[in-house]
Structure 1
Amino acid sequence: MVLAALAALSSATSIGPASAQPGTGTEAGAIVSSRVLAEAELIPEAAEGYRLVYRTTGQNGEPAVSGGTIYVPSGTPPADGWPVVSWAHGTSGMTQGCAPTLNGGMADTFDETPQLSSYLAQGYAVEATDYIGLGAPGTYEYLAGRAAGHAVLDIVRAGHALDAALSKSFVAAGHSIGGQSALAAAQMWPSYAAELDLRGTVAYAPTSNVEDVIAALGRPGTPALPSLDGLHARLVMILAGLDHARPDVRVTDYVSPHGQRVLAIARAGEECLGALEAAVAGQPVGLLFSAPLADPPLMAALRDYLSVPTTGHHRPVLLLQGAADKVQPLPTTVLLHQQLQRGGADSRLVLHPAADHFTLLPTAASDTQTFLAGVLPAH
């Protein structure tokens, strides 16, 4: 997103990870409520499933809850339980009820259901978090890395507590913002959920290296950027999330009266993404701002909030990227791969020349299947 956004612009004019242990009923991974899915609620290749609310940990270490949905494949589980893909979804909205598993699998305009069904067909249980605030009470903080990563890990704890046939062995996987979430989960795993057995991470076009573009675009006078799919609305969602997670940096001091109105639309979440996208369509990005975001304290808070951790990865990472992606363009993921390798990660990057942000998932199916079979065989 960084290079593409800067190009479009020029052509147009720590709070540390929390520590938690399951087991008391009030700790991370404990189940608040659960029910068996009705047959009509199951996705293709799922033999059974569960809807649950479970305890997790927010961005700043505070107790929280998340919703989630678990799908179980058909057949007899292996002796050590069903291997798990802990799935982190893409952008879907800002308010409770906007999780893809509550909306026919839809993340924005993309149906994630075939992706989840493909994991089930290979013999993996799928545990799909909603993140905090999208499927249970709470405030969603868009792209808050630690909050989302905690939810990815804690649904594995909750799944095993709910059904012992669901293994503690898992791969973290996600698309777009979910790729960022999966990478955050993998990096926090040793300190936050070491009793789980993480085997690897799959990140499809993960959101990364967006801080500089936010600084460049976040100022009065920035024009409309029609060539970048959905960037304007997502910038508003980032500001709303950062404002909630870090009130100390006073995000709203940088936002114009127009920007305040748009933030209110994002927080209200009408039509999940629809009302926000309509509100910013065709509008100059600079109308959001009364002052530039490129202020050192604010930028430090932003980096702490959403940067992908590139050190401390102890399991293999597979990055998948389409060269035709306009949402998270190729150079950002190439840079992420280099950063991960410099940080000591066993990172592999696979490029698909014709794939865009959404066609990447089916296009990369064989890469994913090979990786999963190598790190966590299903049979």
Structure 2
Amino acid sequence: MRKSRIVTLAALVALAVTPQATAGAQPGAEQAGQPISVEALSAAATLPGSARAERLIYRSTTVGRAPTTTSAAVYFPPGEAPEGGWPVIAWAHGTVGLGDDCAYSVAGPGAVERDWAYLGTWLNQGYAIVAADYAGLGGPGEHPYLNGVVEAHNVVDAVRAATTQYPSLSNKWAVVGQSQGGGAAVFTARYATEFGGPALDYRGAVGTGVPAYIEDVLQFSGPGVPPIALSPHLTAYVLYILNGLRTTFPELGIADLLTDTGRTWTDRAQTACIGPLGEELDAANVSIGSMFARPLSTIPDVHGLLAGYMGLPESGFDRPVFLAQGLRDTDVITPETLRYFAVLHANAQPATTRTYPTDHSATVNASLADSLPFVAALFA
């Protein structure tokens, strides 16, 4: 029985997270990247200084390469497009929450001052920006949080849809991301050429505050582990991951591993944006350990399952990647991110890595001094 279940779980992992570039792998997958419609952006989601800003609805894929509809915010620099069109920066945003009203193209960035300064800098350099909402955010279905392959499809499909919809955009593009989006940028970097095909000219990637090897720590979650309340954001991230796991692997019965407290907070996280959820968790002084009735390790080969779901690619990058980490960052596990840097270098990947004496949020703009010339060289 145990062997049979392990085989079944292995098949689930393969279905949910194995990259599939073949257009006909799932019904409707061949339509991924097709624009559907254009809408006005809310004021909250409109980048100051953009000459034109719109919400683009497009076709993409979600868990198991199932077809879905999602959206992106598209920003244009002022002035006339250069010959060949505006080069594109695909913005992979950080955690905003799981509810539709949390979606980037609906509510705008969670860290408004930081992200507007960051994106405004890229805009002022003459890049158009395509900011994808990941599958399940602002569209049908649930968001499989930290499912890197799904996020990579969503980012690539947003660029494809935007370059199809807007003739003033070049097919030359790079991806830039922070936190959850830093991980999405890494996955996109690994699969951009494969997923984008010859129609798109992918050049490289930038990621800051990248969450690496989360699976190594998360696998030990269980009753009383950890026994104290962590920062509200860290607890919120775990709740989002639990939601992502039950969206990607409904057969696992994640709810059966949780206490009543755990089920209540996991359900709350399914619709909550990161700011309000963090405040509620802080007020309630909730610990991760109190949410589990049984260890997460009850799931056979839980580490393998988690690594297949969110584990960052360690090789196979075909374009340059720039990764930056703040040494005072406590939102991700900084030693694990630095370990990831070392693994990429040991594997002879085309990675440039930098550290800064900053926290999770401040690293975004601190890294511009190095990432701007890095990206400029990609398009040169």
TM-score between the two structures when normalised by the length of structure 1:
0.88
Partner of 2:52: 48
- How many Å apart are 1:21 and its aligned residue? 5.2
CA deviation vs aligned residue, 1:275-304 (integer Å, no higher than 9, x gap): 465146422221111111124333322221
> How many Å apart are 1:330 and its aligned residue?
2.8
Residue 305 (str. 1) matches residue 309 (str. 2):
yes
Once the two structures are TM-superposed, the CA of residue 46 in structure 1 deviates from its matched residue by: 0.9
- Is 1:114 the counterpart of 2:120? The answer is no
Q: 1:184·1:309 contact (CA, 8 Å) conserved in 2?
A: yes
> Do the aligned partners of 2:85 and 2:170 also contact (CA within 8 Å) in 1?
yes
1:9 equivalent in structure 2: none
**What letter is aligned with 2:215?**
E
- Which residue is equivalent to 1:181? 184
Task: Report the counterpart of residue 18 of structure 1 in structure 2.
Answer: 20
Structure 1 residues 20 and 66: CA distance shift in structure 2, 3 A: farther
The Cα shift of 1:272 comes to: 5.3
In structure 2, C-alpha distance between the alignment counterparts of 1:245 and 1:42, rounded to whole Å: 31
C-alpha distance after superposition, 1:11-65 (max 9, x if no partner)? xxx341122559x997111112113558996422311122111111113211112
1: distance between equivalents of 2:278 and 2:41? 32
The secondary structure found in structure 2 opposite 1:315 is coil
Determine if the alignment matches structure 1 residue 217 to structure 2 residue 221: yes
* 2:234 corresponds to: 231
Does the 8 Å CA contact 2:134/2:143 hold for their aligned counterparts? yes
Q: Deviation of residue 208 (structure 1)?
A: 1.3
Number of the residue aligned with 2:285: 282
- Secondary structure in structure 1 of the residue aligned to 2:191: helix
Q: Which residue matches 2:126? A: 123
The residue aligned with 2:354 is: 350
Aligned residues: 359
Match of 1:133 in 2: 136
Within the candidate set 346, 359, 363, 1:360 is matched to 363
Q: What is the percentage of aligned positions where both structures have the same residue?
A: 31
Instruction: Tell which deviates more after alignment, 288-297 or 314-323.
Output: 288-297
Q: Partners of 1:346 and 1:86 in 2: how far apart?
A: 20
Structure 2 unpaired stretches of 5+: 1-13
Q: Which residue of 1 aligns with 2:151?
A: 148
Give the letter for the 2:201 counterpart: D
Distance (whole Å) between structure 1 residues aligned to residue 44 and residue 245 of structure 2: 38
User: What is the root-mean-square deviation in Å for CA atoms of aligned residues?
Assistant: 2.3
* CA distance 1:139–1:110, change in 2 (3 Å): farther
Question: Deviation per CA, 1:167-225, whole angstroms, max 9, x where unpaired?
Answer: 11111110001011011111112322122111111001111111111123344352124
CA distance 1:112–1:101, shift in 2 (3 Å): farther
Aligned twin of 1:65: 69
Mapped contact 1:21–1:193 kept (Cα < 8 A): no
Q: Secondary structure at the match of 2:117?
A: helix
Partners of 1:65 and 1:138 within 8 A in 2: no
Corresponding position of 1:207: 211
Aligned residue number for residue 4 of structure 1: none
2-structure distance, mates of 1:70, 1:314: 26
2:45 and 2:108 in contact (8 A); partners too: no
Q: Work out which of the residue numbers 257, 260, 273 in structure 2 matches 1:257.
A: 260
User: Does the alignment pair 1:160 with 2:163?
Assistant: yes
| Alignment equivalent of 1:246, drawn from 249, 270, 274 | 249
- Deviation of 1:137 after TM superposition, in Å, equals 2.4
Q: Is the 8 A contact 1:249 1:298 kept in 2?
A: no
**Relative to structure 2, which stretch is displaced further, 341-350 or 49-58?**
341-350
Does the CA-based 8 Å contact 2:324-2:355 persist in structure 1?
yes
The one-letter amino acid paired with 1:115 is Y
For the pair 1:316 / 2:306, whether they are aligned, the reply is no
**Against the structure 1 CA distance between its residues 298 and 249, is the aligned structure 2 distance closer, same or farther, given a 3 Å change threshold?**
farther
- The equivalent residue for 1:11 is none
Q: Secondary structure at the match of 1:60?
A: helix
The structure with the greater share of residues assigned to helix is 2
Q: 1:85 aligns with which of 85, 89, 95?
A: 89
Residue in 2 that maps onto 1:197: 201
The 1:90–1:41 alpha-carbon spacing in structure 2 relative to 1, beyond 3 Å, is closer
Name the amino acid aligned to 1:284. S
Cα distance in structure 2, aligned partners of 1:337 and 1:77: 37
With over 3 angstroms needed to count, the CA separation of the structure-2 counterparts of 1:368 and 1:257, relative to structure 1, is same
Closer, same or farther: CA 80–137 of 1 in aligned 2, 3 Å? same
- Is the counterpart of residue 266 in structure 1 residue 286 in structure 2? no
Structure 1 residue matching 2:101: 3-state secondary structure = coil
1:220 touches 1:291 (CA, 8 Å); kept in 2? no
Distance 1:200 1:264, change over 3 A: same
Per mean C-alpha deviation after superposition, the further-off stretch among 114-123 and 292-301 is 292-301
Moved more, 215-224 or 69-78: 215-224
Correspondence for 1:32 among 32, 36, 40: 36
Q: Which residue is equivalent to 2:336? A: 332
Aligned to 2:9: none
User: SS where residue 349 of structure 1 aligns?
Assistant: strand
CA distance in 2, matches of 1:137, 1:166: 27
State yes or no: 1:172 paired with 2:168: no
